[in-house]
Each structure stands twice: as structure tokens, then as C-alpha cells.
Structure 1
Amino acid sequence: METLLNSRQIQLWRVAIYFIFALTGFAFASWVSRTPAIRDALGSTTAEMGVIIFGLSVGSIIGLISASILIAQKGGRFVMVFGLLVVSIGLLIVGISGSWLTNSLIVFIGLVVFGFGQGICDVAMNVEGTAVEKAAQKSLLTGFHAAFSLGTLLGALFGSTMTKSGISVPIHLSLTALVIVLTVLYLYRFIPADTGREAASDSFKVNRTKEYMAVWKEPRTIMIGIIVLGMAFVEGSANDWLPLIMVDGYNVSPAMGSVAYGIFVGSMTIGRAIGDKILDRFGRVIVLRASALLAFVGLIIVILSHSFVVATIGIVFWGLGAAFGFPVGLSAAGDDPHRVAARVSAVSTAGYLAFLVGPPFLGIIGEQVGLLRALIFVLIAVTISGLLSKAAKPIGKQNDLEMDSKVSNSLKL
């Protein structure tokens, strides 16, 4: 960032990014809240709906891969604004085609558009978040991800209200799109225009695809990617399977399964809300090790316990442990301003790969040995992430290394 910003400008920039994170969560939850209505309108089976929803995954992956090129050429602000506008268009397509036109193919296309917008915005807002961290000289990315969780909660509540009020899907998703567009058009002025942008000589002479692949030759980036892959698997396994794990493994009602999931989400949100202060106090490495340990202990309790009440204690640990891996990994990927967009994009792709592939893999294993036993694979993933956590040590800083030394010396004593 060539332009020096004063404290008020940094504060406004920071607030704007909080809202950007919240808007992406709000948009995603708004779509999810109307999936039953869209499925019924289309008359789709569960399998057919699964194929339709796959459009979201296709668009997201394309967006994640494309984001570094767009950011390098246009800057993070442009990509975030463009991404959220594309998200709004995707919501309109899905709402109209899913309820009024009842055309499955157009819904699929709408979800590809929606996923692409989410994908490029996801990378851009994380690149922007790492830049705000550097300008403010404090850890902020975990708090930004807490804003995403809060936006998801608000989107779910808004969707529930629209559904109970009998508001049609197109009207609901159109209102959601309107909120997103008006908010982002107001906020963009507070965001610097050149975050992540590279000079024209670099931007056009270098093959961006090769540059994207080149970052995966860096040992530190590979290890950070593995950390995020494992921790995203920890988070994604709960998001997709926790209610069913409780229902099948503990013989509780679906309502209680939903309560268990609510406990997980609440714990993870609380962890992210207070995470920035913890990170500033103890450093990334210690926090990642502690979060991996918390998730490990929580999973052990859930796997071995025979009591639902005791299992909920494990779920709290699980949620707290899952809170840090993804945002801390992305923050670490953004340490070096050179190729920052490529690194954040690559690490984000690793995380989303875990979100997309991990839960189905868990379901296949769970079909053979039961979902509770299948969680052993999640234990393995979180253990590997914990063991590699030192890779997230800030470049050019000794905070985490000094903290490691203090901890090691105390253990020797």
C-alpha cells in the first residue's frame, strides 16, 4: 500500500471489511434457507437437488482459481464489489428460475454465477483483511470471519422470517440482493483501491496461471495449505454431519441434533469473536496448537461418550478448536505482499476443497463403520494440522519463536 492512511481511514476500512464478510455470509444463508422451497417448486428428488447444488461448488472453485488474476490486475476493492454484484445477480437468477420458471438447468446456472461471485469475493476480502491487519498492526482476520458467521446467522433468521411470513422465494432473494448491492455501493469508498494490485509490467508479462501454481512450490505455502485443509475438514465435518451424528450416534431427536449443531456454531463464533486478542497475546503458532488440541479433545469426547450431555461439552471444544484454523492460515498466507493474492487464493482453494470433498468422504466411510467412528479421520486431520502449525509463524517476526522458547523452557523446568 503506497498511500499512508491515518487512523480514522484505517478504522473505516476495517469496518467496511467487517460488513463485506458479513454480507457474504448473509447471501449464502439466504440461499440455503430457501432450498426446501426451491426443491419443492422444482419437484426434484434429493439426488437431483444434489446435482443442482453442485453448480455452487463449480462456480466457487472457478472463482477461487480466477481471483488471484483479477486481484493482481484490478485490486481487491474492485474484485469484492464485482463479486458481490455477481452474487446478487446469481441470487436473482436462482430465485426467479427456482420458483417462477421452475427450470432446474437455469437454477444450476444461477448457482454457478452465485458461486463464482462468492469465490472471487472470498479471496479478495481475505487479501483485504490481511492488508488491514498490517495497517492496523494487530490481528483482525479471525474477527472478520466471526463477522461472516454473524452474517450467516442473520441471513438464516431473515430467511426464516420470510418463509414464515409467506414471502415468495423471488421476493426474498431480490430483497437480499438489494441489501447487498446498496450496502456494498455505500461501503466501497472506504476501501483503498490498490490492495493486491501489481504493476502493469508485472501483471501482463507474467503468466498468472503459472504464478498461481508457483506458490505451491513454496514449502511454507504447502504446509499452510495442509493446515487449512485439515482444519477446514474439522469445521466442514460438523457443518454437514453433526446433527446426524447426534441423532444416529446418541439416539436423540432431530430437534436435539439441531441444538447440538447450534452449540457448535455458537462456540465457533465466540472463539472467532475473541480470537484476535488471543492471537495478539500468544501468537499464531501457540493458538493453532491449542485449537488443534481443543478440537482433538472435543472429538474424542464425542466419539467415546455415551451421554448426550457429556457429548455437548465435547462439541463446545470442537467448535472452539475449529474457529481458528481457516482465518489464521489465510492470515499467514498473506504475510508476504509479493504474490499475496496467489497465496491466499491457493490456501483458500485448499480450505474449500476440504469443505467440498471432506464431508462426502466422511459420509462414505460413515456408511460402512458409522459416523461416530468415521470421525477418526477428522482426528487424524486435526493432528496433522497441529503438528505443522509452526509453518504459520509470521515472516520476519520472532514473536511466535520467542513464545515457543518460553513454553519449551517452562516444560523443561
Structure 2
Amino acid sequence: MPSSSAGLSVNDEKKYIGILFFLFAVQIMSWVPRFPEVKANLGLSNGEFGTYLSLGSVGAVIAMLSSGHFVHKLGAKPVLIISTLTMCLSISTIVHLQSTPIFIIANMINGGSIAAFNIALNAQAFHAQDRAGELILSRQHGYWTMGAVATAIFSGFMVEFVGIALHINVLSVVVFFIILSIIKKLEPEMIKPSPEDDSDFGFKDLFTSFRVDYLVSAALVCGIMVEFATADWSAIYSKETIGVRGSLATIPYILTFSAMIVGRLGQHRITPYVSLQQQIKYGSVIGGVGFIGFILASSALVDHSKTAAYICTLIGFSIGGFFSAILSPTFFTAANKRSSQPSAVVVGQMGVTNAILTLIVKTVIAWTAQLTGSIAIAMIIPGLMLISVAFMSRAAKDL
């Protein structure tokens, strides 16, 4: 995809993209540590809340089918600006709601906004990666994880002093204007509209041009479910199963994403000595076994020692986070390399497949927790999925 000829230095482009990844996470993850409050406001069970939360994937699928083509045809800037606005508005609306139907609609809009922003930003990151001539996507995703940790710490502090609505509304306004300012700085190297004449690209072409890389898609969804399960369930598990108070319930989430920062930012130091394929093959097994083992241990210990159970919870989620950290950026890079289509289209099509599979898996996890009465048992599912990535590590063979 073309960019402006005036240009920024590649280091400046990487810096601004990293800041956008950071702010992206700060915004979309700001309400995650406060899920117990959202769930209580809506008066939902674990199964109901998990299911309705997963319906955000419906909005994501719709956005992913089209956003890659919009970035290719219109450029990254309008997609980033519009998705930033709808993302901030939808999250600000959600935290006020007590109506389940309105929550479902707002969550779908939020899911679509997140997907569109994610596609445009990752396409811009691939542009910078091509300019830099090195794999930088893992580090850029590391900045996203730093934002997730920062907002989790802030949210954990706010939960004791400020209501969720005031917290999220003020944060959304601040983040919105900062993101706009960074987009302005990045504009000289922003992906521009494609010069190719594709004005006759129609609705049906969204489907006829759709391609699925089955190996990479399966590896991606299996590799990211520990991360998603941690975001969705760690605070609820810590509060309802282990019995810790509000601010301590966010610590497993914070430690998990801190471990992911270390994994993502440190990957380039390990790769010269251990290939990506080997890192994935052995790391996924260690991470999956550790995740399952320590979470089950925490559930077994809670009636004997809440402290020991809480420590096992922290270790289990952290191990899963560290050893799954590189999987998402690695498989997105693999998909882009294996495809001849524009990077924004590749990210969008990968996202569609991933969103559909994620919706199914998240729903299964939610109702496993509901029907068994045990979130720990439900966490076996993402743990086993992480282990299975070892059998799909060849997807990263040529990176």
C-alpha cells in the first residue's frame, strides 16, 4: 500500500504506532478489570454474561469483512478516526447500562469498532515493518500489552474510590483526543488510498475474495484463548472463587499481561538462538500445562488456604500469559507473508475467521463455567488449546 512520499523516519513511524497500540489497549481494556461491576449492574449469571460479552464478536466479524478493503481503498486515517470515535462512545455507554438488550447492541458496536481500529493499525505496523526490514510486530504488540497493564493498574486503583461510569467516561474523552493527535503526527507515513482502480469492488466481492489460511487461523485462535480467557475471567475468578477483594482481583490480570510484555519485547533477543518455530513448539506446551495445573491447584486449595490458592492463581495466569505472548503477532506475520493480498485485507480476513471461532470458544467456556459451577474447570479449555499450538508450529517455519 502506498504512503506519503514526504515521510517520517522509520523510527518515528514505529514510535507513533507503538503509542497508538498503547492507547488502544488503555481504552478497550479499561473496563475489563471492572467486569464484576458490569455483570452486577446487568444482573447476569456467569454463563449469561460470558455469552452476551462474546456477542461483541458479531460486530467484529462485520467490521473485519469490510475494514481491510476500506483501508486499502480509502487509506488508514479515516478508518482509524471513525473507529476511535465509535469505540470510545460505545464503551462509555456500556458502563451506564442496566438493560441487557442495549448492552448487547452497544457491545457489538464496540466489537466492530475495535476490529476496524485493529485492522488499520496492524496494517500500518506491517508498513513500518517492511520499511524497517525486521520483525517488529511482536514489539508493537508488546506496547499494546503495556497499555493493558497500565489501564488494569489504574482501574484496580479506581475501583476503590471512583464509580465505573465516571472512571470510563473521563478516560474515554482523554484517550480520544490523544489518539487523534498521534494520528495527526503519523499522517506523513499513513497508508494512503490505493491508486489501483477498484471502484467496481462490490459487496459480493467481500466474500468472493475471502481466503482462509487454515493452518495459521487454527494456530492463532488456539494461541490467543489464554489471553482472552484471562481478560474475561481472571478478575471474576479471583473475586468469586478465591474470595479476594476488588483491587486484589485485578492482580492476576496485571501479572499475566506484564508477563506478556516481557515475552513480546524480549522475543527479538531469543530468536537469534532459538527459532520462532521452536519457541512456539515448546513454549506452548509449557504454558498450557502450567496454566491448567496451577489454576486447578488454586481451586483445590481455596478451602484450605486462601493465600496459597491466590498465589497459584497468580502463577497459573502468568505462565499462560508469558508462553502465549508471541503467538498472536507471530501468526499474523506468518499470515501476511503467506498471502499475496494487501496486509489490511489479510488482517481483516484472519480476524473474521478468528472472531467466529473465538465467539464459539468463548461461549463454550462461559457455559462450561456456568454448568459445572467452576471457572477453574472452564479454564482447562484454553489451556488445552494452547498446548495444541505445538502441533501447528510449522506455520512459523519461514519467519
TM > 0.5: yes
SS in 2 for 1:195: coil
Counterpart position of 2:262 = 270
The alpha-carbon distance between structure 1 residues 381 and 39, as it changes in their structure 2 partners (threshold 3 A), is closer
Map 1:96-245 onto structure 2 (within 5 A): 98=96, 105-166=101-162, 169=165, 171-189=166-184, 190-192=186-188, 195=191, 197-202=193-198, 204-205=200-201, 207-213=204-210, 215-216=211-212, 221-242=213-234
Query: How far apart in 2 are the matches of 1:194 and 1:19?
Result: 14
The alpha-carbon distance between structure 1 residues 315 and 62, as it changes in their structure 2 partners (threshold 3 A), is same
* Amino acid across the alignment from 1:330: F
Aligned length: 382
1:264 Cα offset (Å): 2.7
The more displaced of 313-322 and 110-119 is 313-322
SS in 1 for 2:200: helix
Tell me, yes or no, if the aligned pair for 1:126 and 1:330 is still in contact at 8 Å.
Answer: no
Query: How far apart in 1 are the matches of 2:348 and 2:316?
Result: 32
The alpha-carbon distance between structure 1 residues 231 and 124, as it changes in their structure 2 partners (threshold 3 A), is same
Query: How far apart in 1 are the matches of 2:143 and 2:67?
Result: 21
Tell me, yes or no, if the aligned pair for 1:301 and 1:311 is still in contact at 8 Å.
Answer: no
* Amino acid across the alignment from 1:88: C
1:121 Cα offset (Å): 0.7
Tell me, yes or no, if the aligned pair for 1:75 and 1:193 is still in contact at 8 Å.
Answer: no
The more displaced of 283-292 and 30-39 is 30-39
Is 1:302 equivalent to 2:297 in the alignment?
no
* Amino acid across the alignment from 2:266: I
SS in 1 for 2:30: helix
Query: How far apart in 2 are the matches of 1:312 and 1:35?
Result: 18
Query: How far apart in 1 are the matches of 2:51 and 2:294?
Result: 31
Query: How far apart in 1 are the matches of 2:53 and 2:74?
Result: 30
Is 1:393 equivalent to 2:397 in the alignment?
yes
Query: How far apart in 2 are the matches of 1:274 and 1:293?
Result: 19
Counterpart position of 2:343 = 340
Counterpart position of 1:384 = 388
Could you tell me the percent identity over the aligned residues? 18
Alignment deviations for residues 317-346 of structure 1 (CA, whole Å, 9 cap, x no partner): 322111111111112222256332222122
Query: How far apart in 2 are the matches of 1:167 and 1:132?
Result: 40
SS in 2 for 1:30: coil
Query: How far apart in 1 are the matches of 2:207 and 2:352?
Result: 16
Counterpart position of 2:333 = 331
Q: Which one has a bigger Cα radius of gyration? A: 1
Alignment deviations for residues 232-272 of structure 1 (CA, whole Å, 9 cap, x no partner): 22333344445677899xx8544577554443333223212
* Amino acid across the alignment from 2:391: L
Query: How far apart in 1 are the matches of 2:34 and 2:230?
Result: 21
SS in 1 for 2:70: helix
The more displaced of 325-334 and 297-306 is 297-306
The more displaced of 353-362 and 63-72 is 353-362
Counterpart position of 2:305 = none
Alignment deviations for residues 276-315 of structure 1 (CA, whole Å, 9 cap, x no partner): 4334664432332233233234246437767756776554
Is 1:73 equivalent to 2:73 in the alignment?
yes
CA RMSD of aligned residues (A): 3.7
Query: How far apart in 2 are the matches of 1:311 and 1:160?
Result: 17
SS in 2 for 1:338: coil
Query: How far apart in 1 are the matches of 2:123 and 2:372?
Result: 41
The alpha-carbon distance between structure 1 residues 55 and 357, as it changes in their structure 2 partners (threshold 3 A), is closer
Map 1:42-81 onto structure 2 (within 5 A): 44-46=43-45, 53=53, 56-81=56-81
Q: Give the alignment partner of residue 365 of structure 2, picking from 359, 362, 371.
A: 362
SS in 2 for 1:155: helix
Query: How far apart in 1 are the matches of 2:42 and 2:285?
Result: 45
5+ residue gaps, structure 2, are 302-307
TM-score, structure 1 as length reference: 0.77
Counterpart position of 2:15 = 15
* Amino acid across the alignment from 1:333: A
SS in 2 for 1:334: helix
1:210 Cα offset (Å): 2.7
The alpha-carbon distance between structure 1 residues 342 and 27, as it changes in their structure 2 partners (threshold 3 A), is same
**Higher helix share goes to which structure?**
1
Tell me, yes or no, if the aligned pair for 2:220 and 2:327 is still in contact at 8 Å.
Answer: yes
The alpha-carbon distance between structure 1 residues 182 and 304, as it changes in their structure 2 partners (threshold 3 A), is closer
* Amino acid across the alignment from 2:327: G
The alpha-carbon distance between structure 1 residues 286 and 5, as it changes in their structure 2 partners (threshold 3 A), is farther
Tell me, yes or no, if the aligned pair for 1:76 and 1:195 is still in contact at 8 Å.
Answer: yes
1:389 Cα offset (Å): 1.6
Query: How far apart in 1 are the matches of 2:275 and 2:17?
Result: 23
The alpha-carbon distance between structure 1 residues 319 and 64, as it changes in their structure 2 partners (threshold 3 A), is same
1:211 Cα offset (Å): 4.7
Is 1:30 equivalent to 2:13 in the alignment?
no
Query: How far apart in 1 are the matches of 2:54 and 2:280?
Result: 32
5+ residue gaps, structure 1, are 395-399, 401-413
